[in-house]
Chains A and B, each alone.
Chain A
Amino acid sequence: MTKADVEVKTAHPKEETETGRYRTPAADVYETADAYVLLLDLPGVEKEGISLTLEKGEMRVRAAVDEHAGTQGRRLFSETRPATFARSFTLGEGIDPNSVDAQYDKGVLTVKLYKHEGVKPREISIN
């Protein structure tokens, strides 16, 4: 295999960058014997606000951040802006799109993309 089965796209599609309301979350990916594990930093979103879609070999993650409407006043530090986290991933042939687990904990989304049976390493017993 020459290329990893999970390709992380760093740039957003045109329609997203034009609106300027999107943030690119940091992504970590590691590969195990039977899966690729993707970790995305999505601080400040609720689990229900995360959308994860798989279509034609592409996985899209979207997550809207609460605008923290509760606090009105003088802004002394304003380093983040309310924006939707957005990032896409190209999934290779080796991944089984029907076998994906996802969980959200401490502001990090973990997506486990299992490999097709055929590409998993197997130990063959010798008769």
Chain B
Amino acid sequence: MLMRVNRFPVIHPVLESVLDFDNDMSRMLSEFAWPVLTSRVARGPLMNLVEAEKESVLEMELPGVSKEDLKISLEKDILTISGERKAQGIPEDAKWIRSESISGKFQRTIELPHPVDPKAITAELKNGILRVVMPKGEEVRPREIAIR
């Protein structure tokens, strides 16, 4: 129900083909430098999302990413986190011996389980972890639609 773009480890196999299309499209449309691992592993930075009583809290691992290179946007209940981990610069006379970390652009889009008041969202980047706290917004009040 939650996963629109992202895949996660316990996804139902039947949904895979639908999501494949979604993922391939989003990959073609963006400049992901993150590796495509196996079909059930998340693309992009790893994250945890917990829905508590009054808020949802998202934590994403973003080592080496500067605040200036990070963007968070919310459109209705779709949260998008995008940014770039700049490649490590080294002196001109230096040479790489090993390179395992992933740099480049990333983007993750998450459908939130509840409405969020965009003005109430707070985000903090500390020690390579982005923490986004999203208080639950007012439910849209039921309206009666007049029939003409």
Task: Please report A residues at the B interface, Cβ cutoff 8 Å.
Answer: 4, 6, 8, 26-33, 36-37, 39, 41-46, 68, 70-80, 104, 106-108
State which size class the interface on B falls in.
Answer: 35 or more
Instruction: Tell me which of B13-21, B22-30, B62-70, B137-145 binds A.
Output: B62-70
How distant is A55 from chain B, measured CB to nearest CB, in Å? Answer: 22
CB distance A80 to B61 under 8 Å?
A: yes
CB distance A77 to B95 under 8 Å?
A: no
Which positions 90-112 of chain B face chain A at CB distance < 8 Å?
Answer: 90-91, 93-102, 110
Residue A30 contacts which of B8, B57, B96 (CB distance < 8 angstroms)? B96
Which positions 21-63 of chain B face chain A at CB distance < 8 Å?
Answer: 42, 46-53, 56-59, 61-63
Residue A29 contacts which of B2, B58, B96 (CB distance < 8 angstroms)? B96
CB distance A32 to B93 under 8 Å?
A: yes
CB distance A79 to B46 under 8 Å?
A: yes
Give the tally of cross-chain contacts (CB within 8 A).
Answer: 120
CB distance B47 to A77 under 8 Å?
A: yes
- Determine the distance from Cα of A6 to Cα of B95 in the docked complex, in whole angstroms: 13
How distant is B21 from chain A, measured CB to nearest CB, in Å? Answer: 21
CB distance B66 to A106 under 8 Å?
A: yes
- Determine the distance from Cα of A104 to Cα of B129 in the docked complex, in whole angstroms: 13
Q: Note all chain B residues with C-beta closer than 8 A to A75.
A: 48-50
How distant is B132 from chain A, measured CB to nearest CB, in Å? Answer: 11
Residue A76 contacts which of B2, B9, B91, B95 (CB distance < 8 angstroms)? B2
Residue A106 contacts which of B2, B9, B128 (CB distance < 8 angstroms)? B128
Interchain residue pairs with CB less than 8 A apart (12): A8-B98, A26-B101, A32-B93, A32-B94, A33-B93, A41-B64, A68-B59, A71-B57, A72-B52, A74-B50, A77-B6, A77-B58
